[in-house]
Amino acid sequence: MSAAESLRPLTMALSKGRIFEETLPLLEAAGIQVSENPEQSRKLIIATSNPGLRLIIVRASDVPTYVEYGAADLGIAGKDVLIEHAAQHPGGLYQPIDLNIARCRLAVAVRKGFDYEAAVRQGARLRVATKYTQAAREHFAAKGVYVDLIKLYGSMELAPLVGLADAIVDLVSTGNTLKANDLVAVEDIMPISSRLVVNRAALKTRHAQLQPLLDAFEQASHANVATA
């Protein structure tokens, strides 16, 4: 590693919203304060109280890409996002720690009154709208259910209401969004939480800088399990 490389701060990719909010206490546990809140600032590069670490704010589904290409040394992404990324880039990221933050579940939901169990029993071919096509494909293949997957990028809840799909696969947290749209969850696919991901080259070349951060996150994530 060159001298310039060792002076460069570590770059951590994060998305706004729940992941950012729930990462702040983990950073604080590592003695790091963040200079700005991306909800209020338009800045995409945010300094921290540790000159050796800066944050970049990217879309949740772009976090694995920044880390894999080394534009960020590490990042935090939901298991949902990582499954979809790994389908295109298998083995590209090192995932050392489940941080137990931004927890929710990936579930199948249908319009109230739609008899999902009967449709599955009868071997009906279901139209399923989702952003999570890889996780959905694996789930229905394991169940032996034939599905036509329709890729959407947001507002999945709308699809069954306007006849685009019989079912959706989406993240459910409180269940309020499903309820507000007259949908019901009929099957859980998997629990979801956010994980720390690390660039494989950085793991070797920047080990001395990374390790204290990984240790602090590891410890703080245990505290999250305890309070879950």
Q: How far is the CB of 89 from ligand AMP (least distance, A)?
A: 21
Out of 18, 43, 137, 200, point to the residue binding ligand AMP (CB under 6 A).
Answer: 18
Residue 84 binding ligand AMP, by CB under 6 A:
no
Please state, in angstroms and rounded to a whole number, the distance separating the CA atoms of residues 133 and 129: 8
Of 54 and 217, CB closest to ligand AMP: 217
Of 66 and 132, CB closest to ligand AMP: 132
Number of residues located near ligand AMP, criterion CB under 6 A:
12
- Run of H or E residues at 89: none
Q: Of 119-127, 143-151, 169-177, 212-220, which part binds ligand AMP (CB under 6 A)?
A: 169-177
* Structural contact between residues 10 and 53, judged by C-beta atoms closer than 8 angstroms: yes
Please state, in angstroms and rounded to a whole number, the distance separating the CA atoms of residues 170 and 185: 9
Residue 225 identity (one-letter amino acid): V
H-type helices in 9-58, by residue range?
Answer: 18-29
Out of 71, 171, 184, 214, point to the residue binding ligand AMP (CB under 6 A).
Answer: 171
Q: How far is the CB of 74 from ligand AMP (least distance, A)?
A: 19
Out of 77, 97, 104, 136, point to the residue binding ligand AMP (CB under 6 A).
Answer: 104
Are β-strands 74-78 and 183-199 bridged in parallel, bridged antiparallel, or unpaired?
antiparallel
Residues in Cβ contact with 169 at an 8 Å cutoff, skipping those fewer than 6 apart: 106, 107, 108, 109, 128, 129, 130, 132, 135, 136, 139, 156, 189
Please state, in angstroms and rounded to a whole number, the distance separating the CA atoms of residues 42 and 46: 10
Of 10 and 102, CB closest to ligand AMP: 102
Out of 78, 79, 136, 169, point to the residue binding ligand AMP (CB under 6 A).
Answer: 78
Residue 99 binding ligand AMP, by CB under 6 A:
no
Q: Which residues bind ligand AMP (CB under 6 A)?
A: 18, 78, 102, 104, 170-177
